[in-house]
Amino acid sequence: MKGLKDLLLLGNPLLYQVCDPVKQSELHLVKDWVVDLHNIMEEIRAKYYFGRAIAAPQLGIMKRLVYMNIDKPIVFINPEIVDFSNDMFELWDDCMSFPNLLVKVMRHKKITVKYLDKNWYKKEWTMSDDLAELMQHEYDHLNGVLCTMRAIDDKSYKWRP
């Protein structure tokens, strides 16, 4: 079982790699991966008081898998953003892989994501506002992109108070 010590931090080269899709033959592994993702997210919440989702590569699991826990846990296997609004909004983004740093970024106000659930059923979800931002952040992780790479400008960084 993985713990907070296994969370990859800013600068780790694995965070900049594109993840491989989860294969149906790996579905039996997803349950264990999700337990690890959940546990680490809870440790982050207890220590830093934030955290609504985490992507598998943040634990060195180089698979296209996202775990989100807002009102209830949800697993996104091989998510793909298939549509997005032209409307954008600016926000201070945070990340478990650099918990004391905030980065000002622009995100699409609305997105549609297709994915497989934990039972390998096809799903589609249109998300707006904070959920859309959250999924874009996690989706970026699957593509080796960190919010530091999306900073609006050179002055778009600050320490978390």
The candidate with the shortest Cα–Cα distance to 146, out of 14, 42, 44, 40, is 14
Question: Is the pLDDT confidence value at 88 over 90?
Answer: yes
Question: Is the pLDDT confidence value at 4 over 90?
Answer: no
Q: What is the pLDDT of residue 132?
A: 98
Q: What is the pLDDT of residue 1?
A: 82
Question: Are the C-beta atoms of 145 and 82 separated by less than 8 Å?
Answer: no
Sheet holding 157-159, edge to edge: 88-93, 101-108, 157-159
As given in the structure block, the two tokens for residue 56 are: 């598998």
- How many residues are listed for the chain in this entry? 161
DSSP assigned state of 85:
-
Residue type present at position 148 = T
Active site residues: 138
- Sorted by where each starts, the structural domains of the chain and their CATH numbers stand as 4-159 (3.90.45.10)
Q: Tell me the average pLDDT across 24-39.
A: 97
Least confident of 16-25, 44-53, 115-124, 131-140: 44-53
Give the model confidence (pLDDT) of 107-143 as tens digits: 999 999 999 999 999 999 999 999 999 999 999 999 9
Residue type present at position 31 = K
Give the model confidence (pLDDT) of 135-157 as tens digits: 999 999 999 999 999 999 999 99
Share of the chain above pLDDT 90, in %: 93
Residue 161 banded pLDDT, cuts 50, 70, 90: confident
Cα–Cα distances in angstroms (integers) from residue 148 to residues 26, 102, 121, in the given order: 31, 9, 33
